[in-house]
Chains A and B, each alone.
Chain A
Amino acid sequence: MRKGSEGRRRLLLIILIVTALFLITLDLRGVGVLEGARQGTQTILSPFQRAGNVVLTPLKNFFSDVTHLGRTRNQIEKLRTDNATLRAKLANRKNADAQLDQLKSILDLAGTAGFKVVNARVISQGSSQSFTQTITIDAGSDAGIKKNMTVLSEFGIAGVVKDVYPNTALISLATDPSFRIGIRVAGSQQIGILSGRGNRSASLQLIDNLTSVKVGDILLSRGSVANRPFVPGVPVGYVTAVDNSVGAIAQSAVVELYTNFSTLGVVAVVVGAPVSNPGDALVPMKPQPTPVPTVTIYVTPSPTPTN
């Protein structure tokens, strides 16, 4: 009796493992049914994610404030001086204002280059359990978004559309380990390939071994055929460290991405790009020092003393 139960248990385990291996084989061979299953799951989940986003936004704002306490100390000090009504009003509008600021910057960026964009809100952050960096946005194929379109943040490249569903889209962030983008260095026009590393710093590999980059160089997207997956001329990041190892085929460097991925609230998907390349027009301007007015006073002594 016990032997029979043991045999049944083994048989079940073998069936489950064979099923799993069968699924892996089918997926690696590109069987569409399985991809459809993933898309179907996302379609079912998207209303829950939208609801979750609405419900948890105040809580997320609270945690965000706690996380950024050190950095926003000056802002908090300033807010303390405001009256209670104004503070309450600001607290309620904080999320909307931040998203509006991001949206304005994105539209400025897209407008300068002449990109046609679809704006969308971030409704979910992908789990890191699979070591991926993704977000879900609340616009999909119904809004004209297609797979492999460039996604912009207020500062530049945010990622690329990985999957599209009717009302949502999955974005692979530029920090994702599988993310690759062809770049050129603003000014010198050297080209290379930038790879995500799981955090805000990415790695750059130059293609030509006769060229070199230096710290502070600004990187722009090189663009792809038919502007997909990447439109040209969008700021990506700047070089923070250069690896000059002897024996390397070509120079490599560490790049700080412009986009702040922890505060992504609104993004824009480029659905149409102009025929002409924007060149270096989108290179972010260096901060200008505020001019200090100088007042010169000329004193002319009067010819006769006054009483």
Chain B
Amino acid sequence: MNTRQISIAIPMFLIIFVVQESLVDQFRLPGGGFSLLLIFTLIWAILSPHEIAALGGFLAGLLMDLSQSSSGPIGQWTLLMISACYAVSYLGFGNENLSGNPLGLTFFATSAVFFVEIAYVITGALLGVQTGSFEQILITLFGISIWSLVVTPIFLPIFSRLHAFVFNTRSAI
């Protein structure tokens, strides 16, 4: 990434984080709602080379750790997001059947959200973070996944264009 790309990408992540914390979180949506920053970062990772995806994951994870609603130690989301974004990029980047197809991208991003949340629960249990009853965890996991499935197609064109703008790529979904 060059200086221009970094100087555009960082404010982009920050703005989405502020939107998430000040607007999206105002609604107590049933089933836990959705995380715009998580969806954005995973879509970013699918469309990016591995190292850029990991960097994006690092930045988003750090912001998620700094969120007031984060209950785990600072670094937990960072570690998870680096790993998740790298894995997602490894599976999705360059695969035109996936990254070029809005439907495939939506399902891939939603599945990634689901697995990231499961990974958060597991690492949280290892680090001693209270995550509630099994029933409540299931409700939140499926709630967040369903909301992500609903919301991703709405924001996908915007996120895809933002990514294309940063990296000067012509194709945007």
Contacts and interface: CB of A to CB of B under 8 A. Distances in A.
A126 interface: yes
B26 A53 contact: yes
B56 to A, nearest CB: 11
B4 interface: no
A221 to B, nearest CB: 20
| Chain B residues touching A, range | 35 or more
Given A13-B54, A20-B78, A199-B136, A128 B144 contact: yes
B88 interface: no
A226 B136 CA distance: 34
Centre residue among B23, B24, B26, B35 by max chain A CB count within 10 A: B26
A103 B57 CA distance: 43
A56 B25 contact: no
A17 B140 contact: no
B75 A20 contact: yes
B22 A197 contact: no
24 contacts: A12-B55, A13-B82, A20-B82, A24-B73, A24-B74, A34-B74, A37-B74, A38-B74, A48-B18, A49-B22, A124-B26, A125-B26, A127-B24, A129-B38, A129-B120, A130-B69, A131-B120, A131-B130, A131-B132, A132-B69, A177-B130, A198-B132, A198-B137, A199-B136
Given A23-B74, A131-B129, 12 more contacts: A17-B79, A24-B75, A26-B74, A34-B74, A45-B68, A56-B27, A127-B25, A127-B67, A128-B69, A128-B140, A128-B143, A128-B144
Interface of A: 8-9, 12-13, 16-17, 19-28, 34, 37-38, 41-42, 45, 48-49, 51-53, 55-56, 60, 63, 67, 124-132, 134, 136, 163, 170, 176-178, 196-199, 262
